[in-house]
Amino acid sequence: PGWLLSPSGRPYLDSILQKNQRRVFGLLERPVLPPTLAAPTVTYKLFLCGKSGVGKTALVAALAGTPVPPIHHETLGIEATTVFWPAKPRASGRPVIFQLQLWD
């Protein structure tokens, strides 16, 4: 659980942070790692749907590290947000980077 804060996981965490805040990535961007630390990227597309005003946009903002909107407003169309999260599964012991494409 504390792998990201360990010396071996810190470079992976630093690749997704900018000034100690989660970096916002566009749909075509990804974290940059040195070749010696290259890790496979596993992509998931998550489509969030539900009733109006239940917190879908607030959930995406919280996961992406962006400010949560203070007041409710309808999301027009679809907003896509990309979140990267490095992890080290116990089974393989090899770091991977999860790319979550959140469609709201």
* pLDDT tens-digit map of 5-57: 899 889 998 888 888 888 888 778 888 888 888 899 999 999 999 998 888 88
Whether the pLDDT of residue 98 is over 80: the answer is yes
3-state secondary structure of 97: strand
The whole-number pLDDT of residue 92 equals 81
pLDDT of residue 1: 67
pTM: 0.81
Counted domains in the chain = 1
Domain range for 58: 3-103
